[in-house]
Amino acid sequence: MQYGLNRAGRQIRHFTSFLCFMMSVERPVHGRKWQDCRRSPDFCHDAVVRPFRSIAAFAMQGVSAFSLGLVGKVFADRARLGLPAFEFFVCAERPGDVRTDLGLPLHVEFGLNHLARADLIILIPPDDAVPPDAPSSAVVGAIRAASERGSIVASFCTGSFVLAATGLLDGRRATTHWSLAGDLAARHPTVTVMPEVLYVDEGTVVTGAGAAAGIDLCLHLLRREHGAAIANVIAREIVVAPHRDGGQAQYIPVPVPTDGCDERLAGVLDWARRNLDKPLSVNDLAAQALMSPRTFARRFRMATGTTPYAWLRTRRLDRAEELLEITDLQVEQIAHQVGIGSVSVLRELFIQRRGVSPRAYRRAFSQL
């Protein structure tokens, strides 16, 4: 454990100067033009705005205590690690006690007027199992006003019903818990509901699946706005996977086998992460797991909800982003270190993922 802490400390010190820069760098605003093309808002050139620093968690009656807790954990004060100082606060329709799904009262100091202070508003789901009633006109007006001022509005699980009621999802894609996707589509037919994914990023509005997917949504927003290095450190701090693709399945219908296969797969994934610089193939992973490629691919999808190829590609691009942010390595060197090899292939994959080239991505995150 001490080795792990020392290693994390070295990584944190390695990008301390990067973090200081990120506190002052200007970033592109999430404009309508980007929403139309659905590319990463980080690189829209219409205007500039700083990455979000103030986060408002909006709590309705019956709010999920679990969901509120996990959002608060992601954006907790970690100044001791040299991370950005987030201002996190909870708002309700009016100040006072809000009932949680556990039946316990939660005293909320701020009302709707405080949403105007937030760069990012997260609609915390009420009861996770039941679609909530439509929000009041005051709530709808406050959320829409914040969005018009440039705030990012995010939701997950049943919170997506609240966001859809504001009209901000009209004509856009969205997700919610897989078991409630039909209800969301029926209530809001102008919204394209995607029940199979973990989260959907539409720029200034972002939606997530079930309650636990709220962590994935928050880490995605951190990665999008503040970079992979910061998102990875926070993920390590709260002991969760640093990045799961939004397109990864949120529901795996077949249980993971209990014959030891899951342990072998975990070992293979750890081995693959340590060997991303090598041109690993599905056959290599299968051999490491002592399985045939066909059996391995089937077991892999059962356990992770994605394919070995997609998982490898995501891990390689995650690492490439981090190296672009915190090192001065040439793009050619990075391509080889993450096992992609060809700069042209890395560029193509990067454009598919981020809408820009690796060099343009670096310019958004590197010191001037």
One-letter-per-residue 3-state SS of 62-116: CECHHHHHHHHHHCCCCHHHCCCCCEEEEECCCCEEEEECCCCEEEECECHHHHH
- Active site residues per annotation: 157
Q: From the CA atom positions of the chain, what is the Rg in Å?
A: 21
For residue 32 the two structure tokens come to: 């309508």
**Alpha carbon distance 283, 279 (integer Å):** 11
CA 34 to chain centre: 19
- How many angstroms separate the CA atoms of 346 and 243, rounded? 19
Rounded CA separation 125/132 (Å): 9
Q: Three-state DSSP class for 270?
A: helix
Cβ density class 143-178: b for 16+ within 10 Å, e for less = beebbeeebbbbbbbbbbbbbbbbebbeebbbbbbb
At residue 107, φ and ψ (nearest 5 deg) are -80, 120
Query: Nearest CA to 84 among 245, 242, 244, 221?
Result: 221
Q: How far apart are the first and last CA of the chain?
A: 36
SS3 for 207?
A: strand
Query: What is the edge-to-edge ordering of all strands in the sheet holding 87-91?
Result: 87-91, 54-58, 120-123, 152-156, 205-208, 199-201
